[in-house]
Amino acid sequence: MLSVSRGPRRHRDRSEVETISRGPDLLLKATDETSSDGGSTSITKSVEDTGSKDKSSQSLVRTHHVLKIKLKKITNWSGCSGAALDDEPFYHGYMSREEAEKLVRTQGEFLLRKTELTKRGEVVVLSVFWDDTAHHLVVEKANNGSSYYLKEFCFENISDLVRYHHQTRASVYKSGIKLFSWVVREEWQLYHEQINLGKKLGNGEFGEVFQGMLSVGIFTNDVEVAVKTMKGSKVTADERITFLREANLMLKLNHKYVVRLYGVATQQEPIMIVMELCSGGSLKGKIEKDEPMSSQLKRKYCKQIAKGMRYLEKKQVIHRDLAARNVLLDKSDNCKISDFGLSLFGKLHKEKKLMKVPIRWLAPETLLKGIYSSKSDVWSFGVVMFEVFSREYPYSEVKVLKELRKKVAHENLRLKPPSDMPEEDMKVMQMCFEPVESRVSFLQLCKKYKELTSPLPTWNGIANKLIGIGTAV
């Protein structure tokens, strides 16, 4: 409970003096914030969370009761706006410590973000670069949340607190840290007001998926989009980080056969990821329909997926979950690789323990040693080829996953090309199932597809060209 005593109004800038109980240090360490590995523990102590019998800990708790700090409450100043925090250009919504440190790079550069502390829950944090390092300061509450403070000044809202320190260059921490310039929110950091949700399309891992409209400007037509939402308010910090990790990776991608990300809205609940709408549904849904599909159409789908995966290979992105269910079709019936929830940047990744993984699409080296690479994605592409051309479930004859894992990893079980699969496509599929050392890359696969889809010149074609040349002369 914060005790408050008000002094007389004796400041020319119309301020009040408040005395409050001293709380924990404003400066956060990395272990204070929850992270995706779930290994963080809080180092801050308070009356409620201190259970240790250690004398030093008991002394610290008593100190919190005894020591007071005086805050100068600014009630009116020239830059006072009272703006909503969501409308401020320096407020970035939910953001991890690591992402913030990538953005603040010069002396006094800062941003405001929301995060979750291990023991204290959700807080607003000021991240500022000072003396060659990034500092993260909790915006603390006084008067049971009716005002906010950093070092010695408090305000009724966070926007004025930050703008006052920026305008006056008043120190925000005892080491002299000051606010010089803010990091402006990027175009992909969307406002919730820009997004209008329509009909529900389905359920995702963390929430629901809707069709919607995105407003991108006064003179630009609204865009049809798909919106992934984060379920409810009872979501954990680790789930939030995992949910946004997909968006962080997709922001760096731009290819016609990869689903486009328009942006994220993180300022309020629910958090939203806004993506390109693929009205054709999933490729899995298409091949499961009882409709005729030509070999040319099947090859077209596989070729487009290979091109999209070649782009990811070039960008050093390991998808790790390539399957027909994670390929979408746009209104023109073109493939779009989607679902980057498990994806990672890098040439190679080793997982200590495989948990909740798509066994039927995994390469032997992944099943044996937990190794992922673009080559393991090539294996998964071979399984996708089987799905497309056979229109069947991979290894449908093996019902038990533990048995399937053993057969693929140790007994050389491989998917057999369907009998009606063209010979050229059979060869491509079989190339994907070679040992990792000799397995083709997506670059090599794309070259192979170019050979398959480039028709050989005919005598009529050559004659027509010659006639054209003669006419031109």
Whether 32 is catalytic is no
SS3 (DSSP) at 205: coil
| Residues 338-386: tens digit of each pLDDT | 999 889 999 999 998 888 899 999 999 999 999 999 999 999 999 999 9
Q: Which of 280, 313, 454, 279 is nearest to 381 (CA)?
A: 313
User: What pLDDT does residue 143 have?
Assistant: 66
Residue 417 burial (CB < 10 Å; 0-12/13-18/19+)?
buried
The pTM of the full predicted model, rounded to 2 decimals, is 0.68
Q: What is the domain partition of the chain in residue ranges?
A: 5-182, 192-276, 293-453
Q: Which two tokens stand for residue 442?
A: 């997506």
SS3 288: helix
Q: Exposure pattern of 14-24 as b/e (b: 16+ CB <10 Å)?
A: ebbebebbebb
- Strands (E) in 139-260, as ranges, are 140-142, 147-149, 153-155, 181-182, 195-203, 208-214, 223-229
Whether 378 and 442 have beta carbons less than 8 Å apart is answered as yes
Residue with tokens 């070679």: 434
Q: pLDDT at position 435, please?
A: 96
Q: Coil, strand or helix: which one is 406?
A: helix
Chain segment 164-211, per-residue pLDDT in tens: 999 999 999 988 999 999 998 887 888 898 999 999 998 877 889 999
The residue annotated as part of the active site, out of 32, 160, 321, 425, is 321
pLDDT given for residue 95 in this prediction? 86
Tell me, what amino acid is at 42? S
**What single string gives the DSSP state of each residue in 3-39?**
--EE-----TT-EEEEEEE--S-SB--GGGB--TTS-
List the chain residues with pLDDT less than 70.
1-26, 30-32, 34-67, 143-145, 218-219, 232-234, 453-473
In 3D, which of 196, 95, 188, 184 has the Cα closest to residue 136? Answer: 95
Question: What is 5-182's CATH superfamily?
Answer: SH2 domain (3.30.505.10)
Separation CA 381–CA 16 (nearest Å) = 67
Q: Which residues contact 225 (CB under 8 A, 6 or more apart)?
A: 195, 211, 212, 213, 214, 262, 274, 275, 276, 277
| pLDDT of amino acid 37 | 42
**353-356, Cβ contacts within 8 angstroms, sequence gap of 24 or more:** none
Q: For residue 23, which phi and psi values (nearest 5 degrees)?
A: -95, -170
- Cβ–Cβ under 8 Å, residues 447 and 428: no
* pLDDT of 56: 37
- pLDDT attached to residue 50: 28
| 228 appears as a binding residue in the annotation | yes
pLDDT at 233: 61
State both tokens at 133.
């390092």
CATH number of 293-453: 1.10.510.10
What CATH number should be reported for the domain whose range is 192-276?
3.30.200.20
Phi and psi at residue 143, to the nearest 5°:
55, 40
Helix (H) or strand (E) run with residue 345 in it: strand 344-345
